[in-house]
Each structure stands twice: as C-alpha cells, then as structure tokens.
C-alpha cells in the first residue's frame, strides 16, 4: 500500500492465536511477553496498524485474489477445471464444498489472523503514551474498523462464528474462546466497533498522501451496509429501524463525496491506473505499486486469456478468469460497462469470455505483469445503489429510482422508467428490487460484491429457486442442481469442529 509501511512487526507472524488451531492448543506461547513488549512508542502502534492493513492484501483474506470465496461462489465467475488442485477450487462454484476443503480452511485461518492482529493492537495500545490523544484515537479506530470489516465477511459466509475481541495469550484463553457466537452478538460487536470509529478524528475522505487508509466516509459506508444487511437477513422486528440507520449512514457517506454528479466521472476512470490516486469515486482501496515484484497487482495478467493482449503485456497460457455466460447475457445491449469489463477470447485453444475490467499494459508493468491496479474495496456507485436499495425497502420508490438512474445515466443507459417499457427488460427485472440487483451486478462485476448481494436479497429458499431457475448451459461444468439450502453458508472447517464438536457445531447439510 502506498504510504503504508509494508514491513510488518515481527509479531505479525505470531498472530494466529485467534484461529483456534489445534497445534497452538498443544503448546504454551513463549512469545506472549515479546508481543506485549513490542508496544512502547507511537511508531510501534503505527507499525501494528500497518500490519493489519497489509494482511488485507492477501487473496486468502479480502485482496484482489479473493474471488474464490466471493465471485466464484456466486453466478458471475467460476473455475471450470474440476481436476486442478484435487478439484478443491472447483467445489466453490460447483456447490460441492466439504468441511475438509483445505482452501476454505486457509481462508478461515487467514481471516482470524487479521482479527488477532487487531485484537493484540487494541489490547496493548493503552500501554503507549501519545503526544496527541487524537493520534491514539485514530489508530484505535483503524484497528476497530478492520476487525469489523473482517467479522462482517465472516458472519455472512459462516453464520455463527467465534467472536474474539481481546488478545489471547495462553492455551486456556484459546480454549475458552473456541465456540461459535450467535450472529446477533457478532453484528452487535461490528456495529459497536464502527460507531466507535465514527467518533474518532479520522479524515472525512481519503486525504492526499494517505490513499489506502480508511476515512469517515469508509466507516459510514460499511456501517450503512451492515445495517442494510441486518434489516434484510436478521431480526424482522427491527427491520425498519435498521433500514433507517442504514439510510442515515449511507447518506452521510454520500454527502462526503467530493464530486458533483457520478456521470462526471467516466466509468473507465475508476479502473485507470494513472488516475487511481485522484479518482473522486474511490472511497477505500488497497494500493499496489506498479513494477514492484511484491507489492504490484497481478489481476490484469491473471485475468487475461491465451492469445490476448488487452489486459497486460504478460503472455497468458490459460483461460484467464472465466465469466459465466449468465453474466454475459445480463449486460443490456449498448451497455459500455460490458464492452469494457469482458471480452471474448478467440484463440485456437481458448474460445470463451474473460475479464478485462482490470488492465495495465504500460511499460511500468512490463512483460512480468507487475501491474499498478489498486484493489477497490469501496466506491460511490456502490453507495448510490445501496441508497436505492434502502429507499426501495422503505417505500421511497421515487427516491430509489433517482439513485438507480444516477448509475444508469453514467453508463449511458436509459432511465429505469424508459427501460421498464421495454418488454425484454421488464420481463427479466419485473420489480424495482430485481432491477437494482441487476444494476449492482453489471456495475460492480468482479469486485467481489455479488455473493453478498445475493445473500442479502433472497431468503435461503428463494436462493435455491433463483439458482435452479437459471440455464445450466450458461454455467459450464458447475452443476446448478447441487445448490441446496445448505449453500446459504459455508461449512465450518473440520479442523475447527473437531476441537469441540458441541461448541463448534457444524452448519446444516454438512
């Protein structure tokens, strides 16, 4: 990340304490004092904060390579090779996951490692004397935000999950925290962390020189999405209250924007590596360094199909990132977002659609494909479409359509009112809810939102009907018929349930 020191504290390698690994339970922790003694100066705390940010870069957490846990679990992309890596990656979009899937376990451990980093920082920050109280508040807010961000991902994927908010020092500490906590309590903690972050002296938006660090706009965006998710998936009695809270926070995020109209920002500018530090649509991103073998982006090169040169100078020998024909068919005629985001590869051995949304063919990236693409975690089109969604649920239909049309206008598409008169459009998206879900799909494609949008928009039974209503021919080798009610959540990894089969109970269907 630009302007963030990527050299982690030595403690980063030690912070798997919160992941409930069996090998940790079988030994004492000789490094506990070393970790505690690492917090002496303000700079020590800054390095720890940077360490929390740096772990987000990984494809095993939420970085650009984390599509296996998100897009490939949805109806947007997939891994058609069911033989590679013993078929384990294919199991995600084939809806044939098992608790012993090693990729899933790696993801679980990596996510809890981030949480452990945040917990250690928050448990030790009071030991340090700060010249300015505001500095301490900001570092604390950043750690709380990252912890909330990770827990929000975990609770949506697994449901009840272990909730740990303090440093775990002994094996007894770990054993005492090896149990799944009900979703409601996890959401309560997420909200508490984000509210605390909102009361801190964070900058309103990403400031020049701090691209990649969170802002109040980012906190409001996440809190608004949390409330929206709670309203549609949690306690029905509090639905209206949660929707109004979502409206408040998303509106605050929207009002923090530094541009006038979304249409003033070309869609291609959002993904232009030469404008990534200046594009006013970006709220929060993981910053990559073009040309750097370690901290560059590989998404442009990895997405490119054999025989193509649109993404990167690096030659490809594979199919790139498979795009389902179901998504290809969801782009409306004339939608420039489709033209920019996907392309049909016409190589002698590769004839299929691949992702072109992320590009860097510059000399700086070179033939090694060391791209400068930032990984965008939050942007204003997402906020605008969530505002459309919230207003739709609250019955503010006119306002919801106004927000929806902001995004369609930027894409050069007709207004919702005009499009609704088209029989093809109205038959595919007969309700405003489905129209917003469609718009989110084509606007935010391959940005790892689709799975969460589906989980938020449909009940478990509705999801089964939704997937089974699609054409199998549009999904390659992945079998839609495998999708059942069990696929609302991931299975708890076997290595976790065996620690305590009662307290670490398995999700239904596994």
- Cβ–Cβ < 8 Å for 457, 433: yes
Over 90: is that where the pLDDT of 498 sits? yes
Contacts by 94-97, CB closer than 8 A, 24 or more apart: 94/477, 94/478, 94/479, 94/482, 95/478, 95/479, 95/480, 95/482, 95/483, 95/484, 95/487, 96/479, 96/482, 97/487, 97/490, 97/491, 97/510
Confidence band for 86, pLDDT divided at 50, 70 and 90: low
Give percent of the chain above pLDDT 90: 89
Confidence band for 2, pLDDT divided at 50, 70 and 90: very low
pLDDT at res. 210: 80
Instruction: Quote the tokens at residue 508.
Output: 């239904």
Q: Is 337 helix (H, G, I), strand (E, B) or coil?
A: helix
Per-residue pLDDT, averaged over 260-277, amounts to: 97
pTM above 0.75, yes or no: yes
pLDDT at res. 190: 99
Per-residue pLDDT, averaged over 299-317, amounts to: 97
pLDDT at res. 35: 79
Cα separations in angstroms, 193 against 118, 198, 476: 11, 9, 42
Confidence band for 27, pLDDT divided at 50, 70 and 90: very low
Per-residue pLDDT, averaged over 202-215, amounts to: 89
Q: Domains in the chain, ordered, with CATH? A: 1-202+473-510 (1.25.40.390), 288-373 (no CATH), 380-472 (no CATH)
Per-residue pLDDT, averaged over 232-244, amounts to: 97
């Amino acid at each position: 990340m630009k302007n963030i020191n990527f050299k982690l504290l030595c403690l980063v390698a030690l912070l798997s304490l919160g992941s409930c690994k069996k090998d940790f339970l079988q030994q004492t922790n000789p490094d506990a004092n070393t970790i505690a003694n690492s917090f002496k100066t303000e700079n020590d705390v800054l390095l720890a904060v940077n360490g929390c940010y740096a772990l987000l870069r990984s494809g095993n957490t939420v970085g650009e390579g984390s599509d296996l846990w998100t897009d490939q679990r949805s109806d947007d992309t997939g891994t058609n090779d069911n033989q590679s890596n013993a078929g384990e990656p294919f199991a995600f979009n084939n809806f044939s996951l098992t608790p012993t899937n090693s990729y899933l376990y790696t993801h679980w451990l990596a996510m809890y490692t981030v949480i452990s980093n945040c917990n250690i920082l928050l448990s030790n920050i009071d030991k340090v004397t700060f010249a300015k109280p505001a500095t301490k508040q900001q570092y604390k807010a950043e750690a709380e935000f990252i912890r909330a961000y990770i827990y929000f991902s975990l609770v949506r994927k697994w449901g009840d999950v272990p909730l740990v908010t303090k440093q775990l020092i002994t094996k007894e500490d770990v054993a005492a925290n090896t149990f799944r906590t009900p979703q409601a309590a996890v959401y309560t903690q997420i909200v508490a962390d984000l509210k605390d972050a909102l009361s801190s002296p964070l900058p309103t938006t990403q400031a020049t020189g701090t691209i990649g660090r969170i802002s109040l706009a980012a906190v409001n965006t996440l809190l608004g999405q949390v409330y929206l998710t709670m309203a549609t998936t949690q306690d029905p009695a509090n639905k209206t209250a949660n929707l109004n809270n979502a409206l408040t926070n998303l509106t605050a995020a929207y009002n923090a924007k530094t541009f006038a109209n979304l249409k003033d920002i070309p869609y291609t500018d959002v993904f232009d590596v030469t404008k990534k530090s200046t594009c006013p649509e970006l709220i929060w991103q993981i910053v990559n360094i073009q040309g750097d073998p370690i901290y560059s982006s590989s998404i442009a090169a990895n997405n490119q199909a054999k025989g193509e040169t649109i993404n990167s100078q690096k030659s490809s020998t594979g199919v790139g990132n498979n795009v389902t024909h179901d998504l290809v068919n969801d782009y409306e005629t004339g939608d420039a977002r489709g033209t920019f985001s996907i392309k049909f590869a016409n190589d002698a051995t590769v004839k299929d659609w691949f992702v072109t949304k992320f590009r860097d063919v510059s000399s700086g990236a070179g033939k090694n494909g060391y791209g400068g693409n930032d990984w965008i975690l939050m942007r204003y089109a997402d906020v605008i479409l969530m505002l459309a969604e919230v207003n739709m649920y609250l019955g503010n239909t006119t306002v919801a359509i106004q927000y929806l049309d902001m995004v369609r206008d930027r894409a050069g598409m007709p207004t919702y009112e005009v499009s609704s008169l088209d029989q093809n459009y109205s038959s595919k998206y007969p309700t405003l809810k489905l129209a917003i879900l469609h718009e989110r799909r084509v606007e935010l494609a391959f940005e790892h939102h689709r799975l969460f949008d589906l989980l938020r928009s449909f009940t478990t039974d509705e999801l089964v009907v939704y997937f089974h209503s699609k054409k199998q021919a549009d999904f390659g080798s992945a079998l839609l018929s495998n999708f059942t009610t069990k696929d609302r959540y991931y299975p708890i990894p076997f290595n976790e349930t065996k620690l305590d089969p009662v307290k670490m109970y398995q999700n239904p269907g596994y």
